[in-house]
């Protein structure tokens, strides 16, 4: 759709040996992700799950500022303050208890999706989700999701989701600003502590705006069937992936 602003699929990448030199956006908005440092490129994972490729963020060591994210250059397509944002990330971590792992970050307290102490977290200057109800395992491939909800009306459909299940409501909560900072994938741009993902990413989808319940479920159905992630039994796409026209 017109509001699909970032779609990074590991079938669309540029490599040099085992290293990723570019992760190419297929949304149509040219929001390609490139390594912050050429000598610390992410690594190619040949079979993350279901015979599909993944990307492993390079952790040089565990001291501050040593993990190197992929960078998407700032553009108006990444400004979500007035619209809200919906983010879907197929990922796994081998360091589940780590205080903060950043997945998709727009610094300046705009919007962040990450993992905090074993829970999927949304951060916009304040943290949401560490009291969420959904847990998952270390080294388990999951679909981590946020749909913000800037207006707190009765049509609320915002929340933090894991594999299609609601972990934490987000009512009246969304990005707190727009800025000219680049988007970072897999680690913070700058931090006093190491925030790099110790694990792998398979796919990232970012929408400008807050997707509807039906749209969210379609995206969940598509990604979870593609990556062999189990949806809840009452999910409309539990048995079959969505098809064109759904």
The per-residue pLDDT for range 189-220, each reduced to its tens digit, is: 776 667 889 999 999 999 998 999 999 999 99
User: Residue 99 has what pLDDT?
Assistant: 86
Whether the pLDDT of residue 231 is over 90: the answer is yes
User: Residue 152 has what pLDDT?
Assistant: 56
| Portion of the chain with pLDDT greater than 90, in percent | 70
Residue 187, phi then psi, degrees to nearest 5? -170, 160
* Cα angle 211-6-37, degrees, rounded to a multiple of 5: 145
Query: pTM higher than 0.85 for the full model?
Result: yes
User: Residue 132 has what pLDDT?
Assistant: 96
The per-residue pLDDT for range 64-108, each reduced to its tens digit, is: 555 678 999 999 999 999 999 999 999 999 999 888 899 999 987
DSSP single-letter state for residue 173: B
Q: How far is CA 21 from CA 16, 71, 147, in A?
A: 7, 11, 30
The per-residue pLDDT for range 118-170, each reduced to its tens digit, is: 999 999 999 999 999 999 999 999 999 999 987 655 556 799 999 999 999 99
Helix (H, G, I), strand (E, B) or coil at 225: helix
Q: How far is CA 187 from the centre of its chain?
A: 11
Alpha-carbon span 160 to 129, nearest angstrom: 7
């Amino acid at each position: 759709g017109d509001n699909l602003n970032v779609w990074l699929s590991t079938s669309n990448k540029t490599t040099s040996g085992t290293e990723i030199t570019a992760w190419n956006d297929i949304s149509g908005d040219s929001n390609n992700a490139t390594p912050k440092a050429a000598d610390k490129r992410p690594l190619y994972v040949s079979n993350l799950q279901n015979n599909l490729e993944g990307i492993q963020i390079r952790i040089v060591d565990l001291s501050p500022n040593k993990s190197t994210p992929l960078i998407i250059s700032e553009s108006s397509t990444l400004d979500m303050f007035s619209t809200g944002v919906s983010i879907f990330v197929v990922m796994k971590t081998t360091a589940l208890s780590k205080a903060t792992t950043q997945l998709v970050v727009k610094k300046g307290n705009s919007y962040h999706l990450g993992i905090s102490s074993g829970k999927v977290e949304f951060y916009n200057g304040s943290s949401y989700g560490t009291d969420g109800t959904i847990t998952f395992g270390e080294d388990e491939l999951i679909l981590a999701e946020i749909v913000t909800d800037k207006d707190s009306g009765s049509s609320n459909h915002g929340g933090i989701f894991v594999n299609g299940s609601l972990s934490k409501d987000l009512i009246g909560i969304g990005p707190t600003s727009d800025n000219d900072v680049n988007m970072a994938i897999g680690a913070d741009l700058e931090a006093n502590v190491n925030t790099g993902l110790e694990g792998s990413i398979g796919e990232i989808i970012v929408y400008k705006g807050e997707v509807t319940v039906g749209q969210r479920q379609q995206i969940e159905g598509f990604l979870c069937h593609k990556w062999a992630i189990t949806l809840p039994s009452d999910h409309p796409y539990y048995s079959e992936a969505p098809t064109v026209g759904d």
